[in-house]
Amino acid sequence: MEKSFTKQDLIESVVERSDLSKVKAAEVVEAVLSAVEGALRKKREVRFVGFGSFVITERKATKGRNPRTKEEIEIPASTSVRFKPGKALKDALNSHHEKSKEHVAAPVHSKSKKSK
């Protein structure tokens, strides 16, 4: 797997695909990320049709064990975010699988005898 795609990489990509300066592109990326964070803080689902959705998940407090000491510990409740990819993103990520299927020969079926 290649290296991570960072926020700086995203800014560079916006610069390359638009007529924005690097400073303006950075402002736009920050504004988008801030808007997504703000919506999630308000427990709102963030949907980008075709790309995917960011969904809030609530985890209840549970009891666990410290693996070193075997002591029982309380794991506090927490809020997290889950990403669910949209159909267009899934299709884009799996398009190479479709191409590789085209190169596989069709299965050979035995000829059935027809009765006369």
Domain ranges across the chain: 1-44, 54-96
Phi, psi dihedrals of residue 54, rounded to the nearest 5°: -100, 125
The token pair that represents 21 in the structure block: 């300066």
Which residue type is seen at 3? K
Distant-in-sequence, close-in-space partners of 30: CB < 8 Å, separation ≥ 6 = none
- Cα distances (angstroms) measured from residue 12 to each of 21, 51, 77, 78: 10, 20, 38, 34
Architecture of domain 54-96: Irregular (4.10)
* Range 78-93 average pLDDT: 95
Instruction: Please tell me the distance from the alpha carbon of residue 75 to that of residue 70, in angstroms, as a whole number.
Output: 14
Which pLDDT score, from 0 to 100, does residue 95 have? 86
Query: Per-residue pLDDT for 102 more than 70?
Result: no
pTM of the model: 0.70
